[in-house]
Every structure is written in structure tokens, then in C-alpha cells.
Amino acid sequence: MSGAGIRYDTVVLDVDGTLVDTVYQHVVIWAEAFAAYDVHVPLWRIHRAIGMGGDRLVTEVAGEDVETKHGDEIRARHDEQFDKTIDEIQALPGAESLVRDLRRRGMTVLVASSGQTGQTERLLDLVGGAQQADAMTTSADVESSKPAPDLIEVALARVGKGPAVVVGDTVWDVHAAREGGHYAVGLLSGGVSDAELREAGADRVFATTEELRQALDDLPLRASDPGSTRSTRA
């Protein structure tokens, strides 16, 4: 568990599976991308890797040989197909209200996603737009995606903040949060169990984004120092 008595003025939000309902679309699209190169990966294996960046996922589910031979092509095919379906994506219930409530409370709100920048910005339009975040990081900003803590740490560095409450829906989000010494909140909206999220180190687990929103008073949050400088999204 994170240190007792600490109260945080910054919240770092994952996007896919946390704010928007995309996990199972990604699973199917990744499977189709692999199949295009005669690589057949069971859907459950792909689901277990969702939350990692594409830089890690191919090796995780299909091995180094597939990564070496087809990794870039598989990632490109996944991204192309996801672009075609992105307009069908829906925000998770309560997600936009969660972002707005955090801002009303004076929190510094950051976004850290393993996804591509353009896709992430389009998904954030479903919850009020990227301008709702004080800073955003995506796969383009770091060399190593989740479960490495880099996405979180770069976002925090851009606003001169830390540590933070980090919210995500996968064990990879939790691992990244805990490696950076942050308070980790897990959501079940990515299809990962309560037990797995807690075993990975989640301090709290909520069933839905809306349940988290309603429980903000129970989290160790405090408003940002009004004298601090709030950075704009970089």
C-alpha cells in the first residue's frame, strides 16, 4: 500500500478501458492483425496483454520471432483498423463527469495512454476533449510503454507534480503506478478481476468509472496549491 497519511493533488488517468470502452475492440483488431500474417493468437492471450503499448504487446503474446519478422506491420495494421472503428467507440458511463468533477475539485488532471497520440485525442473528445487535461502523454513521448512508469513520470514532469493517484483498468497500469511510488486505483472496466488488480498492488478497486466518481471523497485527494503553475497540455 502507498504511504499512509499522504494526500494527492494530482490524478493521472489511463484512457482505453478507463475512460472509453475500447478494450474488446482492441482484442479483436489485434487478433485480425496477427491473422493477416498467419499468426493465430487466442483472444484470451491478447486480452491479458491489453494495456501494454504495441511496442511490447506483439512480443508478449506471439514471441520475439513474430516481433522481428512482422512486428511493425502488425502494429500498423492494428492502428489502421482501429482508426476505422474509432467513431463507434463510446465513453464509459460517468467518465466525462469524473474528469469534470476532478477539475472542479482543483485537482491537476493528467492523461497517460499507451495509445497513439491522434487516436488518444479523438477518444478524449468523448469525455470533454484533451483540453480537460493539464498534460497528456502517449506512446510517442516515451521509449518504453506500460508497465514501465515512463508515461506517468513524463506527464508529471511536464506539470512539476508528483506523486499522484493513478487510475487504470489493467495490471500493467497498476504496475506502472506502483513502480513510480504512486497511489494506484484499479477499475474492472477492462475485464481484469478485482483479485488480480489488488495482487498487482492496487490500493483501491472500483467496479466502474461512475462508482469511482461517486467515491472521490473517500480517496486521499486534496486540491492543488492555488499558487502553483498549472501547465497546459504538451
CB 61, CB 49: distance < 8 Å: yes
Q: Are residues 104 and 65 in the same domain?
A: no
Q: Parallel, antiparallel, or unpaired: how do β-strands 108-112 and 135-137 relate? A: parallel
Which stretches in the chain have pLDDT values below 70?
1-4, 225-234
- How far is C-alpha 104 from the chain's CA centre? 22
Q: Are residues 185 and 98 in the same domain?
A: yes
The reply to whether 232 falls in a domain is no
CB 114, CB 51: distance < 8 Å: yes
Q: Are residues 207 and 109 in the same domain?
A: yes
Q: Among 44, 70, 88, give the residue marking a domain's end.
A: 88
Write down the pLDDT at residue 130: 92
Q: Are residues 82 and 134 in the same domain?
A: no
Q: Are residues 187 and 109 in the same domain?
A: yes
Task: Please tell me the total count of domains within the chain.
Answer: 2
Domain assignment of residue 53, given as a range: 23-88
Write down the residue that cell numbers 506471439 correspond to: 62
Write down the pLDDT at residue 227: 47
DSSP symbol at 224: P
Q: Are residues 105 and 188 in the same domain?
A: yes
Q: How far apart are the first and last CA of the chain?
A: 31
Coil, helix or strand at residue 17: coil
Q: Are residues 96 and 142 in the same domain?
A: yes
Q: Among 55, 88, 121, give the residue marking a domain's end.
A: 88
Q: Among 88, 103, 126, give the residue marking a domain's end.
A: 88
Distance, in Å, from the CA atom of 200 to the CA atom of 186, rounded to the nearest integer, reads 10
Write down the pLDDT at residue 232: 43
Report the run of H or E that residue 124 belongs to, with start and end. Answer: helix 117-124
Q: Are residues 38 and 16 in the same domain?
A: no
What grid cell was written down for 44?
A: 484470451
